Amino acid sequence: MKIKRISASSCKTFIKCEFAYFLNYEAGIRQTSNEKMAIGNVVHFALEMWGKAHQGNKEGTKDYKKSLRKEYRERRPDALTEGYEESVKVCSHCPFFENGSCNVLDEKIEDFEGCPKMPFEKCIKLTEDVLERESNPLEIYKILGVEQEFNMKFGDCPSVGYIDLISEMNEEVIEIRDWKTGSYIQTYAQVRDDLQAKIYDIAVKELYPDHNGIIVTLDYIQGKPVSVAYSEEEREKNKKEIKELIQKIRNVKTPRRRRNDWMCKSMCIGRDNCDVYWKKFKECNFDVEKYNKIEEDNNRKEDKNGK
């Protein structure tokens, strides 16, 4: 399979399912948004806003709930899931109801289905769970970077990404922090083996070579932060592991797909959609150009018949 660049998410996708990797990173068919993804994006936005405020002017955080509402509207998926549209509106005592409108969505209540109160309040709660900690990571250390970009290479393969928060604990030690808004919490052993932790550690060592210690923290907001550190020897092993994974991806001629399980439903496009794409790509030998041409021809025929 082709590989333009490597990232923690693309590595994990390949390990979970080769066909999911093929769809996402070669065919450009990505998972549609859902309410959990929208909540995660909004909370990341809020914590990014607070992190940047702590680097400079805190005035930007005064009415952060207003900014959250705007971000939530932009992130709100077109096809809402998890019973959202069936949730009953109880507007009479709702703090977001004003003059016949919902000021979360900035729409008249008769113009949309369901109630956004619960998911939006979850965005606020997750954000404030971080801000109200006794040891708020946005306040106790010097912030070096918020949504810090990195650009490096594993052999001839580029790796580009953004790190939520980089802080200087002291002159010797840097902490990387990645916010996690989901309910699943990895163990210490799982985090040590997590490709995201390994890639971020390698990237930050390149960005800040004068710091001897790097701590990687995956901050599970609904649980607790889990922190790991790698020795220089382990870092070199991790680089080798990632290079071998890149070669493994390149060596795949025909992608396989995993058995139907919970990951197919909650972390991918769903098995029904997968079956459709699997049949179509199998018929054209996983040739993306051939698939795109067939789809264009079919769309043209549908348009012609529609007229």
Give the C-alpha separation, 27 to 282, whole Å.
13
Q: Is residue 262 part of a domain?
A: no
Boundary of a domain, candidates 131, 154, 189: 131
Q: Is residue 69 part of a domain?
A: yes
Structural domain for 51, as ranges: 35-131
Q: Kindly state the average pLDDT of the residues 238-258.
A: 94
Q: Is residue 2 part of a domain?
A: no
Q: Is residue 59 part of a domain?
A: yes
**What confidence tens digit (pLDDT) does each residue in 85-117 have?**
556 778 888 888 888 898 888 889 888 777 888
Boundary of a domain, candidates 111, 131, 151: 131
Do 153 and 275 fall within a single domain? no
Domains held by the chain: number: 3
Do 172 and 26 fall within a single domain? yes
Q: Is residue 278 part of a domain?
A: yes
Do 146 and 245 fall within a single domain? yes
Which of 190-225 are b and which e, b meaning 16 or more Cβ less than 10 Å from the residue's Cβ? Answer: ebbebbbbbbbbbbbbebeeebeebbbbbbbbeeeb
**What confidence tens digit (pLDDT) does each residue in 152-181 have?**
999 999 999 999 999 999 999 999 999 999
pLDDT of residue 274 exceeding 90: no
pLDDT on residue 80: 47
Q: For the sheet containing 107-108, what is the strand order?
A: 97-98, 101-102, 107-108
Q: Is residue 136 part of a domain?
A: no
User: What are the strands, taking DSSP E only, across the chain?
Assistant: 97-98, 101-102, 107-108, 142-154, 157-168, 173-180, 213-220, 225-229
Do 281 and 190 fall within a single domain? no
Give the C-alpha separation, 236 to 245, whole Å.
14
Do 86 and 111 fall within a single domain? yes
Do 104 and 149 fall within a single domain? no
pLDDT on residue 248: 96
pLDDT of residue 187 exceeding 80: yes
Q: Is residue 39 part of a domain?
A: yes
Angle at 34 between CA 28 and CA 37, to 5 degrees: 85
Boundary of a domain, candidates 81, 112, 131: 131
pLDDT on residue 110: 86
Do 67 and 18 fall within a single domain? no
Do 171 and 244 fall within a single domain? yes
For 40, other C-beta atoms within 10 Å of its C-beta total 19
> What's the whole-model pTM score?
0.86
Give the C-alpha separation, 95 to 104, whole Å.
10
pLDDT of residue 205 exceeding 80: yes
Do 274 and 200 fall within a single domain? no
Q: Is residue 264 part of a domain?
A: no
Which residue type sits at 52? K
Do 247 and 145 fall within a single domain? yes
Do 44 and 68 fall within a single domain? yes
**What confidence tens digit (pLDDT) does each residue in 8-42 have?**
999 999 999 999 999 999 998 876 666 777 788 88
Do 237 and 149 fall within a single domain? yes
